[in-house]
Amino acid sequence: MKQLKELAFAQRAVMSLLLLSSILTGAMIIGQAYFFVTIVDRVFLKDESFQEIVPLLLALLGVLVVRAALTYINGRTGVKMASKAKREFRQSLLAKYARNPVHASLQGQSGQKVSVIMDAVDEIDSYFSRYIPQVIQTSIVPLIILAAAFSQHANTGWIMLITAPFIPLFMIIIGIKTQKKSEEQLEKMAEFSGKFLDTLQGLTTLKLFGRAAKQKELIQKSSLDFREATMQVLKIAFLSSLSLEFISTLSIGMIALEAGLRLVVFENISFFTAFFVLVLAPEFYLSLKELGSAFHTGRGSMGAAKKITEELERTEMAVQWGQVPLKSETPPAIELQGAEFSYGEEGFSLKNINAAIPPYGQIAIVGRSGSGKTTLLHLIAGLTAPTAGNVLVNGQPRAEYNEKDWFDQLSYISQHPYLFSGTIAENIAIGGRTDASRAEVERAAEKAGLAGLIESLENGYDTAVGEAGRGLSGGEKQRVAVARAFLKRPSIILFDEPTTGLDLHTERMLQISMKELAQTSTVITVAHRLHTIKNADVILFLDQGELIAAGTHEELLQSTAGYRKMFSAQRGVAT
């Protein structure tokens, strides 16, 4: 809640506008009551003609128009404040995930992160759009009404003063319960979102293994849990409304009884005074009731704010960057000095990696499954930061270089490259450093061996592909990734087992493209098929996160038993 308050009160111009509109609203309420009571008094008790009260009617109309305009300004200002706050929270969350996307992807489900960015951030809207404006208005308007009531009839003022605290008291009691239930509701929503997204992404697998019905039951249970949590929040909301309505109705009744007795029985106050305080009383309690309603909504936002804060404060291993430009016509020299990385205390870790990667070097990283090949590639790419040691670029720590300059030099072609929902041309163009022309995109596709396939499609380069490249085969997605690299012309290219699972023809085409890219770049390849990297300048052999040996293919065959065993096994030779 403290963070939300700081964010709200940091917008000084907005808060000043809300303060001014609240003061004017209070004045308009007094003016509205005065003109309305005066018109009734003069028409029904003093028998004045219509012409005589026309100025009063016009004044009343003017007051109503101004009050309506102030209500609009108040609401509009709250919406703008909420919009800015939500934008800042979403930018903070996205920036956190972008600082270390690999680490972020390992923490929780994708659906839960989407739920936090979308649903939880939307939940805080009411805090800024309703709660803060109403708090400011209720801090001012009731005081103005109270002053007017005391000036006309002290007893009414005292009744208002005594009964008013009961509303905030109920607000606090119910609000605490509301926050707890809202947190439970958001937790159930995030759980439901995560399960639903996981099920959608793995629908084919569930169907093949006959688990679709079981997953359906889990989703149904998660959905019912979310419904129950929502109904609990609504139950408290209805209870809150009933309590506030009861207190305000009872208080207005007391004021009406007291004023009526003095007007009719004791005859010691005028009709104008009695009617004036009776008109003001509902306005007084209405403001407090609206605060109660806004407070309930605001407490609901506390649960969302807590969830967002927990996400933002979660430990991260952010990659650090500086401002030193990285501009050169040749690929930079890269050196790993005692570099280490760990996925946590119980997780996998790379240990004391020392390696030099010269410009235009052809480097291969090999090892058994789970030895840390992809993790090392992430470390070299700058997607993760070393937990110990350093990564040097041209003799300087990479953390000193500008982030954009580094990634402008780099292309990463993974085993499963991601394609976005859009056209083939749009997916290739993502690889360019600037907006690429259609001719450049087509040239890149041709070099990647993709042009023939694209031209055979009915819509050519404008053929739509689904999210994650649905509609394209694994080999076609790999070639789109290679086309991105041709378009970008990077000086460092990272391949993460790009030919795994491909047929021989597609593998051969990719290797031709990779060979052409290697002519102007440093190439670092994580390899599963050892015969594809026999000609590498240096092969780094990893085992259980440690660099066991480094050298050429022939050198490793002679010196490293583990490498020799892997190579022999792939050739089908018994050892």
State the average pLDDT over residues 294-299: 68
The topology (CATH level 3) of 416-489 is Rossmann fold (3.40.50)
State the average pLDDT over residues 423-427: 87
Mean pLDDT of the chain: 82
Tokens of 46: 């003093």
At 318-329, the pLDDT tens digits run 778 889 888 877
Nearest to 444 by CA among 420, 428, 433: 428
For the chain, the structural domain boundaries read 2-312, 324-409+491-575, 416-489
* Fold equal for 324-409+491-575 and 416-489: yes
Q: Strand, coil or helix: what is 53?
A: helix
pLDDT value, residue 68: 94
State the average pLDDT over residues 530-541: 81
At 24-81, the pLDDT tens digits run 999 999 999 999 999 999 988 888 888 889 999 999 999 999 999 999 998 899 888 8
Q: Are 107 and 158 in contact (CB under 8 A)?
A: no
Range with the poorest average pLDDT among 39-53, 168-182, 360-374, 393-407: 168-182
In sequence order, the 6+-apart residues with CB closer than 8 A to the CB of 169 are: none
Per-residue confidence band for 281, with pLDDT thresholds at 50, 70 and 90 = very high
Q: How far apart are CA 113 and CA 97, in angstroms?
A: 10
Q: Strand, coil or helix: what is 337?
A: strand
Tokens of 405: 């300059």
Per-residue confidence band for 569, with pLDDT thresholds at 50, 70 and 90 = confident
Tokens of 307: 């969830």
- Homologous superfamily of 2-312: ABC transporter type 1, transmembrane domain (1.20.1560.10)
More confident residue, 309 or 358: 358
Burial class (CB in 10 A: 0-12, 13-18, 19+), 395: exposed
In a 13 Å sphere around the CA of 477, the CA atoms on its Cβ side amount to 24
Range with the poorest average pLDDT among 35-49, 112-126, 131-145, 287-301: 287-301
**pTM listed for this prediction:** 0.61
Phi, psi of 526 (to 5 degrees): -90, 120
∠ at Cα 475 (473, 476), nearest 5°? Answer: 65
Looking at domain 324-409+491-575, which CATH architecture does it have? 3-Layer(aba) Sandwich (3.40)
pLDDT value, residue 574: 40
| 22-26, 378-382, 503-507, 522-526: which is most confident | 22-26
pLDDT value, residue 392: 92
| 17-31, 371-385, 512-526: which is most confident | 17-31
What percentage of the chain exceeds 90 in pLDDT?
A: 16
At 162-184, the pLDDT tens digits run 888 887 777 666 666 666 666 67
Q: How far apart are CA 323 and CA 405, in angstroms?
A: 9
Q: How far apart are CA 448 and CA 442, in angstroms?
A: 10
pLDDT value, residue 425: 87
- Position 106, amino acid: L
